[in-house]
């Protein structure tokens, strides 16, 4: 099962903007799509990956919960046709995206907690409540299924950064907020 190419912003924005379609239970490509997502995410430092990011416009995403836990992130699992059923009030926090490597912000508003339902890869119903960073991951991945990028949540006072390697070979955050003007 191959590691797939991840569409990148802005060069491949068109594919990232397309809305994904609901998955049918008997979709013959579903198993291999989920495997491809797992193989691809395994090569990346990320807590989630949505099918449209590998160019498949179906409502499937992988999420990995517990990225802030001491024991580390848990194994990613698939959520199919996810729907948010309840959510708390919006709170500013961190966002990064495998389609925008190196870009990050601490200023996107996402629900403090949310409840969602979905199907798992065996088509069993999932119903879950997630909080804090986990709620942000679920919200971010569901956004991808609707063609929404974290940039869309930035406001006029939000700051956007990119990681650069400085002359000493160290990672440095450079503010690139000004790139947003005119979008
Ligand atoms: Zn993303």
β-pairing verdict for 125-131 and 48-50? unpaired
pLDDT of 70: 75
CB atoms within 10 A of CB 73: 15
Per-residue confidence (pLDDT) for residue 74, from 0 to 100: 85
Average pLDDT, the chain: 94
Could you tell me which of 135, 180, 173 has the C-alpha nearest to residue 153?
180
Centre of ligand 1 from the C-alpha of residue 166, in Å: 26
Residue 20 pLDDT class (50, 70, 90 cuts): very high
Nearest to 147 by CA among 109, 99, 87, 86: 99
Tens digits of residue pLDDT in 86-102:
999 999 999 999 999 99
**Could you tell me the distance, in angstroms and rounded to a whole number, from the CA of residue 7 to the centre of ligand 1?**
10
Q: Are 136 and 110 in contact (CB under 8 A)?
A: yes
Domain regions of the chain by residue span: 13-91+111-152
Ligand 1 centroid, distance to 93 Cα (angstroms)? 14
Average pLDDT of the residues in 1-10: 93
- For residue 84, give the nearest of 51, 128, 52, 47 by alpha carbon: 128
Could you list the active site residues? 141
- pLDDT one-digit tens code per residue, 116-162: 999 999 999 999 999 999 999 999 999 999 999 999 999 988 999 99
Architecture label for domain 13-91+111-152: Alpha-Beta Complex (3.90)
**Residue 53 tokens, joined:** 């990011």
Q: Taking Cα atoms as reference points, which of 19, 164, 37, 17 lies closest to residue 104?
A: 164
């Amino acid at each position: 099962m191959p590691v797939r190419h991840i569409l990148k912003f802005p060069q491949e924005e068109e594919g990232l903007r397309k809305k994904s379609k609901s998955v049918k239970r008997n979709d013959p490509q579903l198993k291999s799509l989920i495997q491809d997502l797992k193989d691809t995410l395994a090569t990346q430092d990320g807590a989630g990956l949505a099918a449209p990011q590998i160019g498949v416009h179906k409502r499937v995403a992988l999420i990995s919960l517990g990225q802030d836990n001491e024991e580390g992130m848990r194994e990613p699992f698939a959520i199919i046709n996810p729907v948010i059923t309840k959510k708390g009030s919006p709170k500013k926090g961190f966002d990064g995206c495998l389609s925008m490597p190196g870009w990050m912000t601490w200023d996107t508003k996402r629900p403090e907690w949310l409840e969602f339902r979905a199907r798992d890869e065996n088509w069993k119903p999932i119903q879950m409540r997630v909080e804090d960073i986990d709620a942000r991951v679920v919200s971010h991945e569901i956004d991808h299924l609707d063609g929404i990028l974290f940039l869309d949540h930035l406001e006029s006072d939000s700051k956007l950064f990119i990681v650069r390697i400085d002359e000493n070979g160290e990672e440095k955050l450079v503010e690139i907020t000004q790139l947003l003007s005119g979008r």
